[in-house]
Amino acid sequence: MKTIDELLADGVAGKRVFVRADLNVPLDGTTITDDGRIRAVLPTVRALADAGARVVVASHLGRPKGAPDPAFSLAPAARRIGELLDAEVRFADDTVGDSAKATVAALTDGQVAVIENLRFNAGETAKDDAERGAFADQLAELADVYVGDGFGAVHRKHASVFDLPARLPHYAGYLISTEVGVLKKLTEDVKRPYAVVLGGAKVSDKLGVIEHLLEKADRILIGGGMAYTFLKAQGHEVGISLLQEDQIPAVQGYLKRADERGVEFVLPLDVLVSGEFPDLKTKAPANPTTVAADAIPADQEGLDIGPETRKLYASKLADAATVFWNGPMGVFEHPDYAEGTKAVAQALLDSSAFTVVGGGDSAAAVRTLGFDENAFGHISTGGGASLEYLEGKTLPGLAALEN
């Protein structure tokens, strides 16, 4: 895989460089509530601009249905890039139309432009190779060189991620190079003990990575909504907690295999429960009750790990040499159910381990709860991509850059 450093060494002044970023940031109207993904791609954008490239930044945002939708415009992201660069950033209000062509044509050396949401064109996500390829052909007309730096999208076989690199000289940006380097530390020559913390809502989202980690990890700690399927698999009452009943046989199989392989599976000892889901907008007091994990009342829902579980999980992370964490321990968006996620984050900070926060809600939680991002070994920008990498899958966007 060629890197941006090789591109810069060859010289980029005057060249149009297409940077496939991941600007899929959360929005409240037109206000960006977490700019972590924007800041992550800035080193690549800044290096290219400083070297005199004419930088064309492109990304998706949300899930528009192949047509323009103002709710998913990249205009707020373009403004934020300009603020962070302290420079004018031009914005094209289409992807490959007149505005994009004119905006790119007007760039001078060192200037940056952002084109509109790639998913406003149905060709970006098309299953049909020819339709996707046709869109990639149009995108290729906007650039001389391709730099892939949207790690959060590399697990997608999309036009700008998979097809476009085949049409232009292509290089990996700083973010992708860093992400791949970190993930190799979790899969090749891992320092042990290797502890993994998995949370989030659904077991089904993590089945592949659990399967793979049974061959790699020394201990796996389970929290979040997915914990209740594990507890149910052990025969415990879980009340009205989030449950994927169809996954119980798979979970029972994993628990059996873990026992056979000597992998320690750690499940909650106690949980915070309530009869109703908390109001995340007003954050009104929820007044939860703490109960043993095997004694959840039939009319109650588990919404966070309890204090004894927090202590247990901290102790299981204290001596680890490598830790990977993906998924919050509870409904961290509400202060009454944030303590479990806080405890895991703090345990990572207190550990001397190489710590990786695996993107998605975990990364959002770290920022929302006020932790210093730089205190962790690495915070990934791609939750789904990092999980698929750990599953051993071939990621289309990385394969395209390696070709």
Give pTM, 2 decimals: 0.90
pLDDT tens by residue, 27-85? 999 999 889 899 999 999 999 999 999 999 999 999 999 999 999 999 999 999 999 99
Q: Which residue has the higher pLDDT, 307 or 365?
A: 307
pLDDT of residue 280: 92
pLDDT tens by residue, 287-305? 999 999 999 999 999 999 9
- Residue 329's Cβ-count burial label (10 Å; 0-12, 13-18, 19+) is buried
Q: Residue range 306-329: average pLDDT? A: 97
Rounded to whole angstroms, what are the CA distances from 263 to 127, 215, 319, 392? 39, 9, 16, 19
CA 357 to chain centre: 9
pLDDT(359) > 80: no
Backbone angles phi, psi at 195, to 5 degrees: -110, 140
Backbone angles phi, psi at 379, to 5 degrees: -115, 115
pLDDT(360) > 80: no
- Provide the 10 A C-beta neighbour count for residue 102: 12
pLDDT tens by residue, 187-217? 988 999 999 999 998 888 888 899 999 999 9
Q: Residue range 117-146: average pLDDT? A: 98
Q: Is 110 a catalytic residue?
A: no
Q: Is 132 a catalytic residue?
A: no
Q: Strand (E) positions, 258-310? A: 264-266, 270-274, 289-292, 301-305
Q: Copy the structure tokens of residue 27.
A: 């929005």
Q: Is 392 a catalytic residue?
A: no
Q: Is 202 a catalytic residue?
A: yes
What is the distance between the alpha carbons of residues 233 and 227, in angstroms, rounded to a whole number? 10
Using a pLDDT cut of 70, give the percent of the chain over it. 100
What is the distance between the alpha carbons of residues 338 and 123, in angstroms, rounded to a whole number? 40
Cis peptide before 193 (omega within 30 of 0): yes
pLDDT of residue 382: 87
**Would you place residue 228 in the very low, low, confident or very high pLDDT band (cuts 50, 70, 90)?**
very high
Q: Residue range 89-106: average pLDDT? A: 98
Supply the DSSP symbol for 119. Answer: G
CB-CB contact of 211 with 254 (8 Å): yes
Out of 360, 382, 383, 397, the active site residue is 360
Backbone angles phi, psi at 126, to 5 degrees: -60, 140
Closest CA to 57 of 105, 97, 27, 89: 89
What is the distance between the alpha carbons of residues 83 and 89, in angstroms, rounded to a whole number? 9
Using a pLDDT cut of 90, give the percent of the chain over it. 88
Q: Which amino acid is at 67?
A: A
Closest CA to 93 of 82, 101, 85: 101
Q: Which residue has the higher pLDDT, 148 or 386?
A: 148
Out of 101, 185, 202, 393, the active site residue is 202
pLDDT of residue 179: 94
Supply the DSSP symbol for 26. Answer: -
What is the distance between the alpha carbons of residues 383 and 403, in angstroms, rounded to a whole number? 24
